A = this chain, B = another copy of it.
Amino acid sequence: MRVGQVTKKALKVSKVKARGIRRGGNAARRPARKPRRSHDALLAELKARLAEIRDLAGAAAVLSWDEATYMPPGGASARGRQGALLARLLHERRTQARLGTLIDQLTPYAETLPADHDDAALVRVARRDFAKATRVPARFVEQMSQHGSASYHAWTRARPNDDFAAMRPYLERTLDLSREYAEFFAPYRHVIDPLIDDSDAGMTCATVRALFSELRGELLPLVRAICDRPPTDDSCLHGGFAEAPQLDLGLSIAKAYGYDLARGRLDRTHHPFCTRFSAGDIRITTRIDPDDLTEALFSTLHEAGHALYEQGVAAALDGTPLGSGTSAGVHESQSRLWENVVGRSRTLWQHYHPVLRATFPDRFGEVPLETFYRAINKVERSLIRTDADEVTYNLHIIIRFELELDLLEGRLAVKDLPQAWRARYQSDLGVSPQDDRDGCLQDVHWYDDRVGGMFHSYTIGNVLSAQFYAAALAVRPEIPSEIAAGRFVTLKGWLDENVYRHGRKLQADALVRRATGEPMTIRPYMAYLWRKYGELYDLPQALSRPASHAGQGGA
């Protein structure tokens, strides 16, 4: 359930804040009587240069995908070099002086266009990308890529052996590199701000902290209330599911959602992800646990949500920096919407329960819909983030975010991380891992990329998933009855229109306001959780949130 590589990795160096590109340039000195032709020529050159960057990024993504899917072990060291080389070439192109000149020359013209004109957005976003990219030296980009690759391969060996000691030098170096990266964007209010800005432009340590604080205050009583109830029996989900039908089930639902396999495909990886090579080639991966039906099924639906977003970006934006999802948080809202709000709804399984029975007749022939529905929504205090239910999931994220702050601020040494991890889990979730496999070695993040800016987006995504869904329902109340019939076209259509097609034309905050009529808020999310889990766990009304939190929740 990893956020799409498409969001974290591809956006990492490309997302920007507008900063100090020198103004003026040749445009002002060109003859005034042929302004259109001049702009046309400059725009054409800008687009050609940006298209080359997109193609090179797509090529780099193919290498990463292959590394995670099919590469034999012997290929690792050369692949690290190849990836680092492409990262350097990309960085050279993202920071080429001519790009800055073109953007400068086109800015006065772009400012005369309506703000939502494709070309105005293109120049605006290209300007931000360029300003941000030029802060980071090429040498550093290559170092980080090569170290990330080496660390990832070390982690794939260290995790099964519960060998945190082996990862300690890697993680220490990753932490140093993460801080060094942040320094390129100094001054900042908090060292994590530049890291957050990469994935969720417009957000900062302060805004994330405030959101998480409010959310934790609301989640703790809910978790407590649920965990006071008798535990759900989810035994129907466990034990001996053949692999091929597991893959088929998830993929058939993803296709029904609208994931276009003529422009995508599903493969298996250690850690699921979604990646974009081009508008016509957006792939997802999943992993299978023969003993746990939910693993492949919901990983597939999660990544399919990322892929629906990418496949839904307007064709006109293809080949430009506008042609992908706008932020990691908004991206995650789509994976969580299709995985959870839709994929774990009773409504969806009204249609798919017969399909499930036909797929695994020996296992589900006698299992009623309600038993299955309750099983896939079982809430419990647990150790593994990616296996966590919707309600406790955010507590896993908040722990990680706070550990990132401690590490980055130097209050926590890498060597003390395992102990700090256990302490937090004990205090916030009431459980503590026996070993680091189920503790601080469990996530690929920190080990494949950087410390900081990697986890918060998941919770932003959860919050936004409910906000978008409620907004869609408000104008298209027929959506749940369609879902109950296995049709998703109205929901997908609303999301295409209000989220997907815009690509990066709108920054996350503007997109959320425009689509939902208000800034990001936890109200719809908490309303959704209380409505769904209040009913599932028969919670006392007195515990329920005030009326302001009610409203549309869940399919």
Which residues in A have some Cβ–Cβ distance to B below 8 Å? 51-52, 55-56, 58-59, 62-63, 65-66, 70-79, 81-82, 85-86, 89, 260-265, 267, 277-281, 283
Contact = CB atoms under 8 A, between A and B. Distances in A.
A71 B260 CA distance: 13
B66 A278 contact: no
A494 to B, nearest CB: 24
Contacts of A85: 52, 55-56, 59
A79 B65 CA distance: 15
Given A59-B63, A59-B85, A59-B86, A265 B70 contact: yes
Contacts of A74: 260, 262-264, 279-281
A263 B79 CA distance: 12
A49 to B, nearest CB: 12
A90 to B, nearest CB: 11
B265 A78 contact: no
Nearest to A279: B78
B75 A281 contact: yes
A312 B78 CA distance: 17
Nearest to A264: B72
Contacts of A263: 72-75
B77 A55 contact: no
Contacts of A260: 74
A341 to B, nearest CB: 27
A79 B265 contact: no
Nearest to A88: B52
Given A59-B63, A267-B70, A280 B81 contact: no
A264 B65 CA distance: 17
Given A72-B261, A75-B277, A82 B59 contact: yes
Contact of A89 (B79, B89, B261, B279): B89
Given A72-B280, A73-B262, A82-B278, 8 more contacts: A55-B81, A55-B85, A71-B281, A72-B281, A73-B263, A78-B280, A79-B277, A79-B278
28 contacts: A55-B78, A55-B81, A58-B82, A59-B85, A59-B86, A62-B66, A62-B82, A66-B66, A71-B281, A72-B262, A72-B264, A72-B265, A72-B283, A73-B262, A73-B263, A74-B279, A74-B281, A75-B277, A75-B278, A75-B280, A75-B281, A78-B277, A78-B278, A78-B279, A78-B280, A79-B277, A82-B277, A82-B278
Contacts of A89: 89
Contacts of A77: 278, 280
B72 A58 contact: no
A66 B71 CA distance: 11
A56 to B, nearest CB: 6
A42 B283 CA distance: 44
Contacts of A58: 78, 82
Contacts of A261: 72
A260 B75 CA distance: 12
A281 B62 contact: no
A279 B267 CA distance: 25
A399 to B, nearest CB: 37
A281 B55 contact: no
Contacts of A265: 70, 72
A244 to B, nearest CB: 12
A72 B81 CA distance: 27
Nearest to A51: B81
Nearest to A265: B72
Nearest to A67: B62
A146 to B, nearest CB: 12
Nearest to A281: B75
A56 B89 CA distance: 10
Nearest to A71: B281
Which of A74, A85, A265, A279 has the largest number of chain B CB atoms within 10 A? A74
A281 B75 CA distance: 5
- Which of A62, A73, A81 is the most central at the interface, judged by chain B CB atoms within 10 Å of its CB? A62
Contacts of A264: 72, 74
Nearest to A66: B62
- The CB with the most chain B CB atoms within 10 A, among A59, A73, A265, A279, is that of A59
Given A72-B262, A73-B262, A261-B72, A281 B79 contact: yes
Contacts of A79: 277-278, 281
A265 B280 CA distance: 26
A458 B283 CA distance: 37
Contacts of A86: 59
Contacts of A66: 62, 65-66
Nearest 7 Cβ contacts at the A-B interface: A75-B281, A78-B278, A74-B280, A74-B263, A59-B82, A55-B82, A75-B280
Contacts of A55: 78, 81-82, 85
A55 B263 CA distance: 28
Given A59-B59, A66-B66, A76 B267 contact: no
A262 B70 CA distance: 11
